[in-house]
Amino acid sequence: MSPLADDRSARHSVLANALRAADLVNVLGRPGPDSAVLAETARVLRAYGESEPLGLSATDLPGLREAAAELRPVFAAAGTDAAAHALNALLAARTGPLRLTSHGGTSPWHPHVDGDDDAPWAEWFLASSCLALAVLLWDRGRAPGGVCASTACKDVFVPQGAKERRYCSRRCATRERVAAHRRGGADAVAPVSRRGSRPGP
């Protein structure tokens, strides 16, 4: 594999981990019975390539929900500086030193900031998300995420592409545009381009 291909693969991995962080923050922040939230959390983990058996149980849920609540302010930060300060606080208080792992030779070497390869789900989720969001902020030079501006949705998201986004999806942008049109168009919302729509599950 060429160095350029390695770089592209690393960038994809960082973006995928940031997208996974956003999806998990959303799933874990929604109300609902523990069994449903746990099933949806497992679905997101599988969608982003976590291998079976997951070993995820109801006892993991409180810690995962707490980690999601701690990550939300990074997405909600008002600008790059605020996001960086929020990430620095989490990295200082809630993660370990940077280390490299290959998970016993089962994957290419890559960085981790959790305690070890068998860290609990909540620790791994918080640490891996902080690392991905920090690298994304560094690489792009802007806040790594946002919170949907739709009045009916408060999901977090990771923008893709150069254009600034206010909505997590085309559906939310369309709903707001229709609502603005019904109010008389005074605050019409520009449509979200197909390139700006959120991928993934």
How many percent of the chain have pLDDT more than 70?
85
Q: How far apart are CA 64 and CA 72, in angstroms?
A: 12
Tell me what pLDDT residue 163 has: 76
Tell me what pLDDT residue 165 has: 86
The answer to whether 133 and 86 are in contact (CB under 8 A) is no
* Its pTM surpasses 0.95: no
pLDDT bucket at 182, cuts 50 / 70 / 90: confident
Average pLDDT, the chain: 86
Tell me what pLDDT residue 196 has: 41
More confident position, 133 or 170: 133
Tell me what pLDDT residue 197 has: 40
Mean pLDDT, residues 19-26 taken together? 98
Tell me what pLDDT residue 12 has: 66
193: pLDDT strictly greater than 70: no
Classified as helix, coil or strand, 35 is: helix
The answer to whether 72 and 29 are in contact (CB under 8 A) is yes
Q: How far apart are CA 8 and CA 41, in angstroms?
A: 27
Tell me what pLDDT residue 16 has: 95
32: pLDDT strictly greater than 70: yes
pLDDT bucket at 80, cuts 50 / 70 / 90: very high
Q: How far apart are CA 7 and CA 10, in angstroms?
A: 5
DSSP string, 67-101: HHHHHHHHHH-SSHHHHHHHHHHHHHHH----EEE
